[in-house]
Amino acid sequence: MNQMIWVVLLPFLGSVVCLLVHRKLVFALAMAASLGTLAVAAGLVAHVWEHAGARVELGGWAAPLGIALQLDGLAALFLLLTAVVGVLVGIYAGSFFAQTSELRPMGIHFWPLWLLLWGGLNGVYLCSDAFNAYVLLEISTLAAVGLTVLSGSTASLVAGLRYLLAAMFGSLMYLLGVALLYAGTGQLDFVLLSRSLTPQVHVVTAFGLMVFGLLLKSALLPFHFWLPPAHASAPAPVSAILSALVVKASFFLLLKIWFVVFDSLSGEGPGKMPGQLLGFLGSLAVVWGSFQAVRQWRLKSLIAYSTVGQLGYLFFIFPVLSFSHSPPHEALAWGGTVFHLFSHGLAKASLFLAAGCLLRAMGTDDLHAMRDIAGRMPVITFSLGVAGVSLMGLPPSAGFVAKWMLLRAVLASGQWWWAPVIVLGGLLTAAYVFKILAYTFVPSQGDAVRLQPVSLAMTFVPLALAMLCVLIGFRADEVILLLPAVPGCEMSAGGGGGP
Amino acid sequence: MNLTLLFDVFLIAALLLVSWRLLGASDLFQATVLFISFGLFLSLAWIRLQAPDIALAEAAVGAGLAGVLLLGTFKGLEPEEDREGENLSSEACRLDPISPCPGRAHLLLAFTFVGSMTALLLLAVLDLPAEGDGLTLLVFQSLDRSGVEHPVTAVLLNFRFYDTWLELGVLVAAALSILCVRNRLDLRELRPSKVPDVMLRRLVMGLTPIMILVVVYLLWLGDHAPGGAFQAGVVLAAMLILLWFSGHASITSLSRILWLFSLIAGFAMMLLAAVITASWPEMRPLEFAEEWSGAIILAIEVAATLSIGVVLSSLAILSLGAVED
């Protein structure tokens, strides 16, 4: 299973090569690295499908001393999502950064930073070591901040600095937790840590610090303040990457910390409280984020606030699983959460890229200016519509499957009080999606704005992402089978490489 | 015994006092100077905790380089006219003038947060087992298979090679991000804001060979004593900044491609090692044969020193340098 390290090596190789070669070759080589990473990621999904997870000890040093890579169903699905979005955004970016002479120098910095970020994200998915996770989060954060400030404009600098400070603070809180755990147990490996933890004061403190840090980085409601300006002010391909992938990486780590490392702590009595709290913050995020999205008049701000709202759905898994450990809810909750990750990742990337096309064509992303866009840019409008349908959770899209599974999981676990939030969030989502679409159908009054031409690649990539988002809705069974019913058990048994 | 206790108490008091004054400082220049002295006290504290590697890094990066960056930023914020005028207050130069300045409520919130965090951490630290020394024993047991004699170097460049490699990636990402902020492709044409005087030029000229010697010594030392790529790299960075500041040839004379090569040398070298070991059928990724590991680690340390020096000096030059019209 040594090839799993290639999902980290290939993007890094691409990044180094893109820095050094002539700028005419950069796009071709970056796409080669992207496609290679997609192929390896697909191979890893197939491996998990046919066999099981796997574990590789780097440098041949066994776990307490060295660092291991851990592949499981969840990691494989995240790798696949990142690779699919990465390749499509790459095709779009190749065309996007070639548009004008202002954008061309940005393209030179985009590729190395993006590939560095991609390698870091893939590293997070395979990570099995608490300190290593910190380093990977750092490399992803710094590369993501670099991408945010790509344009060098004052708005993006303010947003990027706020993002950097929030994310750094989150990382340091996480690191403080790791330090406490290491001082208490002398372990850093996730599986070894989970075996040696007992509910003591320092362990609970470490749990709180690590979860707090990761929540800050995943932009759950009270900590979402950095997200909308950063995601709205970045260039379109960067916004797509940040919204679809980067916030998900810290959420992935949160899942691992919660359900693998600290699994023994949650469950009974007071152990239910953190889960309920996260569910509560998640429902606040769903309502508040979606409500703010409805109030926006700039398309990119609207989509960014929609991310705040949609991220809230991811946090229902914590109350559902901390309440009861019975397999049917668990499969539903995992399936719903992962499906939501997929559908939101693909739909949000599609929306941001479509917004980039509109911004290019009209010169502004003000909703009022979008008159008669439906008639003049039908493909873009169609992508906006299809991606919007998935966000709303209408059948047959992946968004529908996700919300349906989440709803059933919530009801089956006996926590009916989350159900109205899920439904209300869907309605608010419908409100802002229709707000976008309504303006595209308003007929133009007299002299319409002259539209700049948008290249074919930029037109059809958002459509491809939106279509994928619908199509994946039909593959629900496979995704659920890939997911571990009880990830903690599978991980400690998986691969046979554990000490 | 009593004397060291006295020293520790003095150190803790100094740290608290400096940080309190730092938070209360209304003048940015004063705050910067206090930050540098805070870094120096902190590195003394690391020495007292018997962590000389961290003390070296803290003194060099935390006090030295961060101080240079802050002073440079302060220079850039200062208004051109009336340099002798009012002190520069922190409200006058905020990046984001739209959002409100922190008021009493913010301060109260911050103090509540810091106070409860301190209390929580105290409880947690008191709860820690007293005799835990982590993986130290295991590191010493495996030291003879690592190719080096200093445990810290063995951890950084063999047992946890992956982490160190990624840290170098973080440095590359930081350098590229600052390049984006300044809208530049390389460092050429960046000049220090003041024309250096002859004395400084001569002094730096005389110091350069000594600093090169220190870099090589620190690098070599990493094999068996505190030292190594990070410490040597920081001294190299200081040398490059001084050379640039005094008008000598430095990294600003390099072409884009050469500068990039030295910027990513460490990261690329470790990537190369990873690619080779990952494609080798009998080996695990990042596994070095025992007889080769000493040589591989030395080669990687040389490349890493170069990269760290170039990245850190580039950060300083990018934030201090001005483009001549």
**DSSP readout, A259-275?**
IIITTTTSSSGGGHHHH
Confidence of residue B73 (pLDDT cuts 50, 70, 90): confident
A70: β partners? A55
Does B63 share its domain with B181?
no
State the pLDDT at residue A14. Answer: 95
* Selected residues 57-76 of chain B with any CB under 8 Å from a CB in chain A: none
Q: Which residues of chain B lie closer than 8 angstroms to A56, CB-CB?
A: 284-285
Report the gap between the CA of A372 and the closest CA in chain B (Å): 35
Q: Which of A1, A7, A16 should be substituted to probe chain B, the one whose Cβ sees the most B Cβ atoms within 10 Å?
A: A16
Give the per-residue pLDDT at A36. 96
The answer on B223 and B317 residing in a single domain is yes
pLDDT higher than 50, residue A489: no
- Spell out a b/e string for B13-28, using b for 16 or more CB atoms within 10 Å of the CB, else e: ebbeebeeebeebeeb
pLDDT given at position A364:
84
Q: Are residues B44 and B189 in the same domain?
A: no
* Residues of chain B contacting A139 with CB distance shorter than 8 Å: 166, 169-170, 173
Please check whether residue B230 lies inside any domain of the structure: yes
Question: Which residue in the block uniquely carries the two structure tokens 């959420």?
Answer: A251
Residue B244 lies in a domain: yes
Side chain identity, residue A118? W
Q: Is the pLDDT of residue B80 over 80?
A: no
Q: Judge if B312 and B232 occupy the same domain.
A: yes
Residue where a domain stops, chosen among B38, B60, B78: B78
Query: With a CB-CB cutoff of 8 Å, which residues 150-189 of chain B face chain A?
Result: 158-163, 166-167, 169-170, 172-174, 176-177, 179-183, 185
Q: Which of A285-299, B274-288, B306-320 has the lowest mean pLDDT?
A: B274-288
Model confidence at A13, pLDDT cuts 50, 70, 90, reads: very high
Residues B182 and B324 in one domain: yes
Return d(Cα A341, Cα A335) in angstroms, integer.
Answer: 10
Pairing of strands A68-71, B190-191: unpaired
| Mutation site, B165, B177, B296, interface A, largest A CB count within 10 A | B177
Q: What is the mean pLDDT of residues B89-112?
A: 71
CB of B279 closer than 8 Å to CB of B196 = no
> What's the mean pLDDT in A257-280?
79
What is the model's pLDDT at position A146?
94
The residue among B37, B58, B78 that closes a domain is B78
Look at residue B62 and tell me if it is in a domain: yes
Residue of A nearest to B135 (CA): A186
Please write the tens of the pLDDT for every residue from B275-304: 998 888 877 888 888 788 888 888 999 999
For residue A28, is pLDDT > 90? yes
B162 and B293 part of one domain: yes
Output the pLDDT for position B135.
79
From the number of C-beta atoms within 10 Å of its C-beta (0-12, 13-18, 19+), residue A228 rates as: buried
Contact B170 A152 (CB under 8 A): no
What single letter denotes the amino acid at residue A268?
A: E
Name every chain A residue with its beta carbon within 8 A of the beta carbon of B138. 64-65
Q: Residue A266 has what pLDDT?
A: 61
**pTM, to two decimals:** 0.92
Residues B61 and B154 in one domain: no
Residue from A3, A4, A5 to probe the interface with B (highest B Cβ count within 10 Å): A5
Q: How much is the pLDDT for A488?
A: 42
Q: Name residue B322's beta-bridge partners.
A: B191
Asked whether residue B134 is domain-assigned, the answer is: no
Contacting B residues, span 190-249, partner chain A, CB-CB under 8 Å: none
If asked whether residues B214 and B315 sit together in one domain, one would say yes
**Contact partners, residue B253, CB within 8 Å, separation at least 6:** B188
Do A379 and A463 touch, CB atoms closer than 8 A?
Answer: yes
**pLDDT exceeds 90 at position A288:** yes
Domains of chain B: total = 2
Tallying the residues shown for chain B, one arrives at 325
Do B166 and B63 lie in a common domain? no
Same domain flag for B206 and B299: yes
CB A379 within 8 A of CB A464: no
Confidence of residue B82 (pLDDT cuts 50, 70, 90): very low
Cβ-based neighbours of B147, under 8 Å, separated by 6 or more: B154, B158, B288, B290, B292, B293, B294, B295, B296, B297
In this structure, of A415-424, A428-437, A465-474, A486-495, the range with the lowest mean pLDDT score is A486-495
ipTM, two decimals, is 0.90
- How many Cα neighbours within 13 Å face the side chain of B257? 6
Domain holding B289, by residue range, is 149-325
Q: CA angle, corner B131, sides to B129 and B136, nearest 5? A: 115
pLDDT at A53: 81
DSSP class of residue B144 equals G
In a domain, B138, yes or no: no
Q: Is residue B159 domain-shared with residue B308, that is, in the same domain?
A: yes
Which neighbouring-strand residues pair with A56?
Answer: A69
| Assigned domain for B237 exists | yes
pLDDT in tens, A428-481: 999 999 999 988 888 877 666 678 888 888 999 999 999 998 888 887 777 777
pLDDT of B83 strictly over 80: no
Residues B208 and B320 both lie in one domain: yes
Out of B78, B113, B137, pick the residue that ends a domain: B78
* List of residues 6+ apart from B274 with CB closer than 8 A: A5, A9, B165, B285, B286
| Amino acid in position B311 | V
**Residue type at B114?**
V
pLDDT value for B305: 93
A46-55, A221-230, A254-263, B146-155: lowest mean pLDDT where? Answer: B146-155
Backbone angles phi, psi at A55, to 5 degrees: -135, 135
Task: Using alpha carbons, select from B170, B171, B148, B150 the residue that is nearest to residue B288.
Answer: B148
Binned at pLDDT 50, 70 and 90, residue B57 comes out as: confident
Q: Which amino acid is at B104?
A: R
Mean pLDDT of the region A44-51? 88
* CA–CA distance, A31 with A28 (Å, rounded to integer): 5
d(CA A249, CA A352): 19
Tell me if B98 is assigned to some domain: no
Q: Given an 8 Å threshold on Cβ–Cβ distance, is A20 in contact with B260?
A: yes
Best residue in B162, B262, B275, B283 for a mutation probing chain A (most A CBs within 10 Å): B162
Reported as a single tens digit per residue, the pLDDT across A176-207 is 999 999 988 888 999 888 888 888 888 889 99
Q: What is the mean pLDDT of residues A415-426?
A: 91
Statement: residue A237 has pLDDT above 90:
yes
Shortest Cα distance from A109 to chain B (angstroms)? 7
pLDDT score at A262: 85
Q: CA B177 to CA A284: how far, in whole Å? A: 34
**Orientation angle between helical segments A299-313 and A419-441, nearest 10 degrees:** 160
Question: What is residue B228's predicted lDDT score, i.e. its pLDDT?
Answer: 82
Asked if the Cβ–Cβ distance from A16 to B264 is below 8 Å, we say yes
